[in-house]
Structure 1
Amino acid sequence: MSLPIIRVHWLNESRAFRVLWLLDHLNLAYEIIPYKRDEGFRAPDELRKVHPLGRAPIITIEDKTTNKIKTLAESGFIFHHILQNFDKSNILNNPNPDANDQIEYYLYYSEGSLQPPLMIEFLLSMVNKAPIPFPISWVARKVAGTISEKYSRGETKNQLDFVDSEISKNNGYLVDGRFSGADIMLSFPLEMAFQRGFANADQYPNIDKWLKKIKTEKSYSVAKQKAVDHGGKF
């Protein structure tokens, strides 16, 4: 039975890199169909022809026998489908059902609990940097500071404390002391947290070591080169 044709609809400077990393670690052949953001940093309208929402990542899986095409959107769902259908050897899954449930949890935790406060903090930081005239700037920054203080700053710390603790309990990984789909999934929001100054190595030494370790995977380098070749930045 021949494997289907997997196509990654790749948007530069997007979370789609994680999908490349996932597929390369599983040694799955795939094609990249590149798209570039417009001047407003929005995805081009061409992506809407693939999926109505027009947001990356999107993958299509074509059955070579029937020519039927399945379209998958949303990172967690894409990871779930790929791991469930293409990782029968438990390369990124786990043979222990309980551990595998934990991997599944992280696929949804990433953008369900971790990503929202990080995104709010990022947007609020943009308000502080925006060239807004006084006195509107004072009001905008006061509101942004209050939102951060009352919600997103504390919730960001809560989430990062949780992840750092979980890594310390699992021998340097997220689940069962071994590299899994969960590590790839959480790589993006946690790296962004460090790059944007919401976390640092002194506060979160376990996350810092984990980020450095998972990047030593050969599949990371392979996927990174493909991303760079298609307009990705690192």
Structure 2
Amino acid sequence: MLEYSRGLRIVWLLEALGTPYEVVTYQRDAEMHAPPALKAIHPLGKSPVIVDGDLTLAESATILRYLHDAYGDGRFAPAKGSNAHALHEEWLDYVESSAMQPMIIALMDRLRGGVGATMTGMADAAIPRSLEYIADGVGTKPFLMGDTPMLADIQMTYLFAIAERGGVLADHPRAAAYWQRLQDHPGFRRAVEVAGPIMPPSA
């Protein structure tokens, strides 16, 4: 896995499943890009990526689903065929499909002094809507689907790490409280122990 990356999500799930695994860590370059060596594992050259026998998979949600189906015995998703399962699947895909780009724009805007008024304006409009949507989804529950983190909660971690680093959580206390619960969960803490922090140290 790439340091400071989405790969921490996969480590959290593997630790929770108790499935034997090996972590191969790749260092980012001076520009925080993935090294060329990752392309030897998968053509995209990105993290996370897993190799399980003769199967190689990229994309966080795909990997989480695969590991859960292969080794999870249904513990980290609602029962298939239920409305709750369909909603959970929507949350799992929402993170990287609709929610992530505005967060990335906000982070780049903060780190690099602006990415252009048009893109920043789009992010400024989308981020509050996204954070409130997630907070409404959690509601009065500790996590999205109830008392226990599911795959979708694990998937949320990198999104919220970026949101925090991008400075967009201050006006969204419910979303910030959810992020704090994720960080406080033993599964997240154990993943950090194994894989290292999800974000690089602040400058």
Using structure 2 for the length normalisation, give the TM-score. 0.88
Read off the aligned partner of 1:98 and give its amino acid letter.
N
1:57 aligned onto 2:48: yes
Residues 217/27 of structure 1: CA separation in 2 closer, same or farther (3 Å cut):
farther
1:190 aligned onto 2:160: yes
Corresponding residue number in structure 2 for 1:94: 78
Q: Residue 211 of structure 1: which of 179, 185, 190 is its match?
A: 179
Residues 221/199 of structure 1: CA separation in 2 closer, same or farther (3 Å cut):
closer
Question: 1:127–1:144: 8 Å Cα contact kept in structure 2?
Answer: no
Corresponding residue number in structure 1 for 2:100: 115
Question: 2:161–2:199: 8 Å Cα contact kept in structure 1?
Answer: no
Corresponding residue number in structure 2 for 1:156: 127
SS of the counterpart of 1:33? coil
Deviation at residue 127 of structure 1 after TM alignment: 4.3
Corresponding residue number in structure 2 for 1:47: 38
Q: Residue 224 of structure 1: which of 177, 192, 196 is its match?
A: 192
Separation in 2, partners of 1:146, 1:233: 28
Question: 2:105–2:123: 8 Å Cα contact kept in structure 1?
Answer: yes
Greater RCO between the two (CA within 8 Å, min separation 6)?
2
Corresponding residue number in structure 2 for 1:165: 136
* Structure number, greater radius of gyration: 1
Q: CA RMSD in A?
A: 2.2
Deviation at residue 59 of structure 1 after TM alignment: 0.4
Q: Could you tell me which runs of 5 or more consecutive residues in structure 2 were left unpaired when the two chains were aligned.
A: none
1:145 aligned onto 2:130: no
Q: Residue 174 of structure 1: which of 144, 156, 169 is its match?
A: 144
Separation in 1, partners of 2:168, 2:193: 27
Residues 39/127 of structure 1: CA separation in 2 closer, same or farther (3 Å cut):
closer
Read off the aligned partner of 2:29 and give its amino acid letter.
D
Separation in 2, partners of 1:119, 1:214: 20
SS of the counterpart of 1:148? helix
Q: Residue 27 of structure 1: which of 18, 24, 32 is its match?
A: 18
SS of the counterpart of 2:11? helix
Deviation at residue 204 of structure 1 after TM alignment: 2.2
Question: 1:172–1:206: 8 Å Cα contact kept in structure 2?
Answer: no
Read off the aligned partner of 2:75 and give its amino acid letter.
I
Q: Deviations over 1:195-233 (max 9, x none)?
A: 221112xx322222222223333222221111139x975
Separation in 2, partners of 1:153, 1:213: 25
Separation in 1, partners of 2:159, 2:47: 15
Question: 1:46–1:54: 8 Å Cα contact kept in structure 2?
Answer: yes
Corresponding residue number in structure 2 for 1:3: none
> What number of residue pairs does the alignment pair up?
200
Read off the aligned partner of 1:154 and give its amino acid letter.
A
Would you tell me which structure has more strand in proportion to its own residues? 1
Separation in 1, partners of 2:17, 2:187: 9
